[in-house]
Chains A and B, each alone.
Chain A
């Protein structure tokens, strides 16, 4: 992965972006921080994942209220890509193995 790829890769087309299926071997998790604006976090989720407003807002509120939200699940390479881009947007994103998968 390169920075250029991360900056220019358009948001992927996610089937049923309103309620993406959270299945796959790797999870992308965003942790809460007290700094980033709620509107900024919603915007980032929409840009990076192509989520609609309500899905992005649901994940933002999970982060805000529960301290973390699983924002995407899938194959490792794509999970790494998403984690990188989220970190580029200065969200606290981590990768976790999906033990339930």
Chain B
């Protein structure tokens, strides 16, 4: 099984985990991105939404579990093929939520191009944006190192 250990700077990452945890908690009963279910039958709609939320909660729990006592003593997180998909989805969920709730004033162009000067952002947005970038980096690490080669050959954009 593929597995990577990632050594992170505790001083940089630890403050971001409060943001991740806070956003993760706020997603407990809500979806990170609104889903359009107009074409779904009424009797299926609630189950559909509930199952998406349950899956999302499981994924976010997997993400938060990376930052355990070992991380706080060594700065190391362990990523492997077993948790890769859940981590990828959880990072997407938290990033979408950060965008919706904390980075709404940032234009799409700036966000996609990452042409944002951190020092120009207010403190709360600064932390949210650092968290947003950090989770993208985690996703890139997983895609590059843990996804089977048939899914990733040339996939980096």
Tell whether, in the assembled complex, residue A53 and residue B40 are in contact, meaning their CB atoms are under 8 Å apart.
no
Task: Please report which residues of chain B, range 35-60, place their CB below 8 angstroms from some CB of chain A when the two chains form the complex.
Answer: 35-36, 39-40, 44, 48, 51-52, 54-56
- Contacts A39-B140, A40-B143 hold; do A84 and B92 have CB atoms under 8 A apart? no
The winner among A39, A46, A60, A96 for most chain B CB atoms within 10 A is A39
Contacts of A70 in B (CB 8 A): none
Interface code B72-108, partner A: CB below 8 Å = 1, 0 otherwise? 0000000000000100110011011001000000001
Interface residues on B, range: 35 or more
How far is the CB of B75 from the nearest CB of chain A, in Å? 24
Do A35 and B99 have beta carbons less than 8 Å apart? Answer: yes
How far apart are the CA atoms of A38 and B88 in the complex, in Å? 13
User: Which residues of A78-101 have CB atoms within 8 Å of chain B's CB atoms?
Assistant: 80, 84, 87-90, 92, 94-97
Bound-complex Cα distance A84 to B48 (A): 8
Select the stretch in B7-15, B118-126, B149-157 that faces chain A.
B149-157
Q: Is there an interface contact between B155 and A87, defined as CB atoms closer than 8 Å?
A: no
- Please give the distance in Å from B121's CB to the nearest CB on chain A: 17
Contact assessment for A95 and B92 in the assembled complex, using a CB-CB cutoff below 8 Å: no
Question: Which of B40, B54, B55, B112 contacts A95, CB < 8 Å?
Answer: B40
**Which residues of the partner chain B approach A1 to less than 8 Å between Cβ atoms?**
48, 51
B66 at the interface (CB under 8 A from A): no
Interface residue? A18 (CB, 8 A): no
- Interface 1/0 per residue, A47-67 and B, CB below 8 Å: 100000100110010000000
Answer whether A96 and B39 are a contact pair too, CB < 8 Å, given A42-B157, A43-B152, A90-B93: yes
Q: Which of chain A's residues have a CB closer than 8 A to the CB of B54?
A: 3
CB pair A53–B155 under 8 Å, yes or no, is: yes
Q: Is the CB of A90 within 8 A of B147?
A: no
Given contacts A7-B55, A33-B33, 9 further A-B contacts (CB under 8 A): A34-B112, A35-B95, A38-B157, A40-B88, A42-B155, A43-B151, A89-B88, A94-B39, A95-B40
B interface residue numbers (CB < 8 A to A) = 32-33, 35-36, 39-40, 44, 48, 51-52, 54-56, 85, 88-89, 92-93, 95-96, 99, 108, 111-112, 136, 139-140, 143, 147, 150-157
Residues of A participating in the B interface, judged by any CB pair closer than 8 Å: 1-3, 6-7, 33-40, 42-43, 46-47, 53, 56-57, 60, 80, 84, 87-90, 92, 94-97
